[in-house]
Structure 1
């Protein structure tokens, strides 16, 4: 089975010194740290996403336990079938870049058919549209069901799955982290920082305690003098904070209106553009994109009126116009980008 694999599929990382497991359509193969390939007992991955049967789990568990006992290594990287990889482009606000993983976990069930707990995912920023305030992200994921219950078997055998490695022709392999592996350099840095932090903590205690001891009498005198003016000062501080909070709120509203358009201006422009024989059944405004639906005797006149108003940019029909035979009305759906005012 190993000899039948293409050359690009059997490339592996020289820096990794643990186990590599190829979870292939025709079976499970483990690569030892010395490069030897071992075919593991157990069924081939289930096409329908089913798990490994209990009897095969015990057999696979015993084989993996014996390997860990023999070689003493625990870390393992899984390489599933590349067809298990799912990718799509996701558009998020630019503010999401600082906490991209957390945002994707929260939005996973909206962006994909899966919950965040049911996938192994990674994200790569494709481009930043600063003018529109949007971040274009490539979301890559592998459903855990595609691994057929292999992860619990590995962990019960004493192995530590670190990541999924998706081998692809052309670009380098894609790594989807299963856990955050710390290198030896990171461990040494952590111990060093712990020692430095302890020393700094001792010095900080000395630096804090000594001035307080010397100045405790002076502070007591200052406290008595400040007691008479503390209440008015606190009241002034609260008033200042209230004023600053209101100003910040007004600035936020003003900024969003400049970026996405003022809803009152948009409604006024629509009222002016629509004729008396036109009425709306639905209106939505999201991220500067306006979508209206309704009925009219002259749908062409509606879109011409919107096109003449500078508030609306590039109005177009979002769906075919359908005509009602009994009343002479035509149902329409028009989309447009809202301009700034």
Structure 2
């Protein structure tokens, strides 16, 4: 999935880069520098418009151009190299008139028959088709090897032009024929621009994620603070209402009622220690609300019920489990349950 996404992103950024370059090319057409080959192998320079310090002739030897100020002359320009016809092979070709729209493809398919080279090894161009009868057209093909074209193009590419084209003159035709063209790596490079777009997208995505995380954190923090403030406001309002009500509805009165309505564990323990005889041992005590459960060992379990109910703190005393006696026990094992009557007052522990 990652590879697929990377391929989709690369294709998209490449398309955008090509569109940007194409748009820039339409808005700003590069200046044209034309090099016309002379008989001695050098080139005469033809520049469109005014070019400061431009040489009139450039020497060419061993695949390299030499001359003064060639970098400023070619950089960012469209360079057209016009080679002499002697470097090309010319072949006339007649085709049906309806083939005019597919002329280049038809010639490419037949280039190995028209020239000594294959389609991969040859570069070619065609003159504008002219009528040759009622239902036919004729054109002149100019072809040469790809090596010849790329040798001259590479000599120019070292000076970073925007485009390089190879042309030649065809006898009997006013317009020159273009046999080769390539976009050199100039100021706007599609691959470099595509990588730049990917970098910008990556930075934008990271910034968006960080912004979303920061927004979520700030929102959570503000939400917590808002809830705390609301809770404090509610508590303050409740305290104000409780203070305004006064009397039995105040918090102090509620605590006071709870104090006297809830059995005190200390008083329950103190009372049990007073009412139970010395031969009775409590092994477990549970106090849940106003319900008391005790378990233990005694020598006379039935006598405990009246003793517990005689206290003003306990009522409804009863056995909630059978009384048992094991051979190893020193007495009867009892389980008694009683209701506790809260009497949390001074002197409540008196028998």
On whether the aligned pair clears a TM of 0.5, the verdict is: no
Q: TM-score, normalised by structure 1?
A: 0.36
Larger radius of gyration: 2
Q: TM-score, normalised by structure 2?
A: 0.35
